[in-house]
Amino acid sequence: MSQLDSIIAQIAVALSITSLDVYVFFWLLVMMGIIMAMGLTRIYSTFFGTVLGMGIFVLISTILSPEFQTPETLSLISDTFAKVLIGSSVYLIFILALLVPMNGGINVSLPKSALGMIFQTLILSFILVLFLLAVFLGLVDKSYIFLHTDSAFILMNKFASFSELQSSLLFVFVSSHLPTIIILSIGFIIYKMLFADIVNTTMA
């Protein structure tokens, strides 16, 4: 056993968790560190891009759903092509998460104090990681709004290492609360974009 494995094992024993959970915890910290380095404005932009991509996906998957097709719409677009469009649109979630912050991002009100900036950056980084992980797991397991969506993400289930990861505390927590995490995350960014300034002005 290497020195690193020994340290990980000791941490796992001290916290009464598995070594896998320790590795996942460190992965979470690394991801949060990368996101925090982006700055608060870009974190909001990434959040917004992800939600925008989900909105487009939900719109396309709804209007092209077989439940809402009519002979007229089927004459315009076949059922097979509709499934391809729905499966392709899901990648917009992650594409827009990258493109929106790269193209100037969005304008949101930020905390005026340095302490407020640090605290909000830390909290939002954690929430964004959970949100992206929830979307990813939803696509892998074809659960929640991704129930009938075929994508390349389902191939992750073929890897034994990923199946092992899914047994970690973080992955189990996110999978168990997947709809709640997604709904609250979307609700938060909508509030921040549309209503936060109005509420702050009213309360000032």
Q: What is the largest CA-CA distance in the chain?
A: 67
Chain segment 117-130, per-residue pLDDT in tens: 999 999 999 999 99
Number of structural domains in the chain: 1
Q: What is the pLDDT of residue 147?
A: 81
Q: What is the pTM of this model?
A: 0.86
Considering only CA atoms, which of 50, 57, 15 is closest in space to residue 35? 50
* CA pair distance 40, 123, nearest whole angstrom: 10
Q: Is the pLDDT of residue 1 over 70?
A: no
Run of H or E residues at 122? helix 114-141
* pLDDT of 52 strictly over 90: yes
State the pLDDT at residue 125: 95
Per the model's pLDDT, the better-predicted residue between 54 and 83 turns out to be 54
Query: pLDDT for 98-109, tens place per residue?
Result: 999 988 777 788
Task: Look up the domain containing 52 and give its range.
Answer: 3-203
pLDDT score of 86 more than 90 = no
Model confidence at 197, pLDDT cuts 50, 70, 90, reads: confident
Mean pLDDT value across the chain: 87
| pLDDT attached to residue 149 | 80
**Left (φ > 0), alpha (ψ -120 to 50) or beta: where does 46 sit?**
alpha
- For residues 104 and 154, what is the distance between their CA atoms, to the nearest angstrom? 32
Higher-scoring residue by pLDDT: 6, 31: 31
Cα radius of gyration rounded to whole Å, the chain: 20
How far is Cα 135 from Cα 32, in angstroms, rounded to an integer? 17
137: Cβ contacts below 8 Å, ≥ 6 apart:
143, 166, 171, 174, 175, 178
Sign of CA dihedral 28, 105, 138, 196: positive
